[in-house]
Structure 1
C-alpha cells in the first residue's frame, strides 16, 4: 500500500477514534440531561397547574379545565385531575375539549404514582404503560390545603418525545462527524501527498540510478528530517559510485589504448614472419595472427564498454567451429606435453 494512503488512513482512524470518544459520551450525557430536564419541567408545570384547581377542590369555585387543556395541546402531555379517592375529575385524553368534565369517571387510585401522591408526596418517575405499550414520564403533585390532600394532578408524557430529541442529537452529532471526517480526508490527502512526494522523487532517482544514470537530480525540499537524511545519503552514494565508475572506465579506456599499439605491432611482425617461414609452418603463423586479431577485438570491446557508446551486438556463432579452432591453436602445445586433443564431430 502506498505511504500516502497509509498516512491518510492513519489520519482518518485517529479522527474517527477521537470523534467516538467525544460524541458517544456527549450523546449519553445529553440524553440523560433531556430526561432530567423533562422531569423537572413537568414537575414545575404540575405545581403551577395545581394552583388553578385548588379553590375548586375546596368547593369555593367551579372546576375550569381550560388551562390544563391548553397546556395539553401545547405540550402533548396528558393531564389528569383526581379527587381524594383517586376518582378522575377530568382527563385531557377523555372526550373532546369543553366536554371532558362530563366524561365518565375512572378510578386512578390503583396507579402507584397516584396512590403515593394522595399521601402528600410529590412523585416524579418513569414507568411502562401496558395500555399504551410505551414508557411514560410521570409527575403526580398533591393538591393540599391546610395540611389536607384534596386531590392529585398528574402529568404524563410519552418517552418517545425525549427519544425523538435524543435521536435528533445523534443525527446532528453523526452529521458533524461525517463533515469532520470529510475535512480531515481532504486535508490529510493533501498532507500525505506532500509528505510522500520526496519519497516518490527519491524512488524515481533510484530507478534512474538502476538504469545507469548516476547524475543527481533536483528534488523538492522536504520538512521530514529522516527523508532529508535518506536523500542526502543516496546523493552521496550516487556521486561516489559515479566517480568510481568514471575512474574504472578511464582505466579500461587507457589500458585498451595502450594495448592496441603493441598488438598492432605484433600482428605486423607475424605477417612479416609468415612470408619467411619454412614450408608447412604457415598455418601455425596464421593461427597466431588469428589469436592476435581476437585479442584486438577483445580490446576494442573493452574500449567501447568503457566509453559506454553502445552495447556489444549479439551474433550467432558456430560452437563446433570455435572448438576446432581452439584445438588447432593448442594442438602443438598438447603434443609437446604428450596430450592428445580431439574435437568430437569435427
Structure 2
C-alpha cells in the first residue's frame, strides 16, 4: 500500500513540478527569441534605409561594403534585393518566403521559438522604401547559437532544480506515507498473529494519524473482549467437564455395586447403562482435551519430538487383531512437535474404526508433512468439509464408538503447533488425512 501511495504522490508531484518548470522554460525561450528578433530587426531596419537610398541614387557600392563589413563582424549573412527580386548586395540566402512577404510590405513580426534543440538559424526580413512604395528587401540569416547557449543554461538550471525539488518531495512523501501507514502495518501484523492463533497479540503504542490511533485502541478493546469471551467459554467447558467427572464416577461405582442384585432379565439393561456411562466419560475426557488444546494448556499425553515411529509401532497389534495392514514410512527424522504423535493417534484410531477388515492403512512423513492414508469407504466432498467440526458424525456411522471430537481435537492440535490439517480423497477410494507443519525455525536464529 505504501508503494502505491508513493507512486500516486510521485505522479502528482512530477505533474506539479512540470507545470511550473515547463512554462518557465518556454517563457525564457520566448523571451530570448524576442530579444534576438528586436536586435536583428534594428539592424535590418538600418540596412533597409541604406538600401532605399542606394536604389534611389543608383549606387550600391557603399551598401555592398557595409553588408560585407557587417557579415564579417557578426557572422550573419545579409542579402539585399530590389522589388523585382534582383540581387543588389550580399547573398547566400536565396529567394525565401520571408523575403517574398517583405516585398509585399510585411516585416518579420515573429520568429520560430528557439530551444536547445533548434533552429540553428532564423530569417529576419525588412522591406525598404518610403510610405507604401517598396523599393527592395533586406533579409538576414541570423545564427541562434548564442541564444541557444543561454537557453541551455537556463533549461539545465530548471531541470536540476526540478529534480532536486522532486527528490525532496519524494523524501517528504515517503516519510509522510510511512507515518500515515505505520498504524495500518501494525494492525496487519496483529491481525495476522491473531489469525495464526496467538490470541494474546495486541497493537502497541504507534504514532500516526489520530483517527488510526483511535481505530487501534478500539481494535485492542475488541480483541480483549473476544479473548475474554473465549476464555470464559473454554473455562466453562473445562469446569463443567471436570465437575461432571465426580458424579459420573460415583454413578459408575453405584451401578457396579448393584450388579450382585440383578436378575438375569436386567443384565442386558445393566450392560447398556454401563456402556452409555463409559461413552459419557469418554466424551467428557475429549471435551477436557479440546479445552486444554484451545487454551494452549498442554496435552494429557506427550512424547519426545523424535518419538513418532515408536508411538506408531504401538498400533500394529491392534491393527493385526482387526485384520488391517499398517505400513509406516518415516523419511523425515527432524525434531517434531509432540502434538504430531497425538494427531497420528487420532487418525489411526479413526482408521481402525472405519476401515473394514482386509484394508490397508499407511503412515508417511516427509518434508514435515504427515499423511495417513486408508482404502476404506472414505468421505464425499461435503462430508470432508464438515468432518473437522465438533461432534460431527456421518449419517451411516452413528453406531460407531466415539464422541465426534477426534478430528476437531486434531485440527486444534495442528493449529497449536503451527500446522494445518486437511482431509483429502484417496484413489480409488478411501481417505487421506494430511498434516502440514510450518518450516522449522533455525535454532541459531532468534
Q: What is the TM-score when the length of structure 1 is the normalising length?
A: 0.65
1:290 aligned partner: 275
SS in 2 for 1:281: helix
1:263 aligned partner: 248
User: Matched residues in 1 for 2:401 and 2:120: separation?
Assistant: 107
CA drift of 1:143 comes to 9.1
User: Matched residues in 2 for 1:310 and 1:236: separation?
Assistant: 27
Per-residue CA shift, 1:277-314, capped at 9, x if unaligned? 12353343222122112211222222233333357853
SS in 1 for 2:108: strand
Distance 1:107 1:209, change over 3 A: closer
1:227 aligned partner: 212
User: Matched residues in 1 for 2:230 and 2:169: separation?
Assistant: 48
CA drift of 1:42 comes to 0.8
2:399 aligned partner: 323
User: Aligned pair count?
Assistant: 297
2:78 aligned partner: 79
User: Matched residues in 1 for 2:83 and 2:192: separation?
Assistant: 95
CA drift of 1:51 comes to 9.4
Mark the runs of 5 or more structure 2 residues left unpaired by the alignment: 113-118, 300-341, 357-396, 403-446
Task: Select the structure with the greater relative contact order (CA < 8 A; seq sep ≥ 6).
Answer: 1
User: Matched residues in 2 for 1:223 and 1:26: separation?
Assistant: 38
Match of 1:123 among 100, 103, 107: 107
Which stretch has the larger CA shift, 263-272 or 15-24? 15-24
CA drift of 1:203 comes to 1.2
CA drift of 1:23 comes to 3.6
Mark the runs of 5 or more structure 1 residues left unpaired by the alignment: 95-105, 327-346
User: Matched residues in 1 for 2:260 and 2:202: separation?
Assistant: 60
Distance 1:244 1:139, change over 3 A: same
User: Matched residues in 1 for 2:278 and 2:175: separation?
Assistant: 64
Per-residue CA shift, 1:125-164, capped at 9, x if unaligned? 4689xxxx998431437599xxxx9986542326798789
Instruction: Check whether the contact 2:82–2:137 (CA below 8 A) recurs between aligned residues.
Output: yes
2:290 aligned partner: 305
CA drift of 1:173 comes to 5.3
Match of 1:155 among 136, 140, 145: 140
1:97 aligned partner: none
| Aligned residue runs from structure 1 range 106-145, under 5 A | 111-112=99-100, 115=103, 123-125=107-109, 136-140=122-126, 142=128
1:251 aligns with 2:230: no
CA drift of 1:85 comes to 8.6
CA drift of 1:238 comes to 0.7
Which stretch has the larger CA shift, 293-302 or 311-320? 311-320
Instruction: Check whether the contact 2:180–2:209 (CA below 8 A) recurs between aligned residues.
Output: yes
Instruction: Check whether the contact 1:123–1:139 (CA below 8 A) recurs between aligned residues.
Output: yes
1:25 aligns with 2:9: no
Q: CA RMSD in A?
A: 4.6
Instruction: Check whether the contact 1:72–1:79 (CA below 8 A) recurs between aligned residues.
Output: no
CA drift of 1:68 comes to 0.5
2:435 aligned partner: none
Instruction: Check whether the contact 2:237–2:291 (CA below 8 A) recurs between aligned residues.
Output: yes
Structure with bigger gyration radius? 1
SS in 2 for 1:323: coil
Distance 1:52 1:167, change over 3 A: same
User: Matched residues in 1 for 2:95 and 2:173: separation?
Assistant: 66
1:69 aligned partner: 71
SS in 2 for 1:213: coil
CA drift of 1:269 comes to 0.6
Which stretch has the larger CA shift, 252-261 or 185-194? 185-194
Per-residue CA shift, 1:101-145, capped at 9, x if unaligned? xxxxx999x94465467xxxx9334689xxxx998431437599x
Distance 1:255 1:210, change over 3 A: same
SS in 2 for 1:156: strand
1:340 aligned partner: none
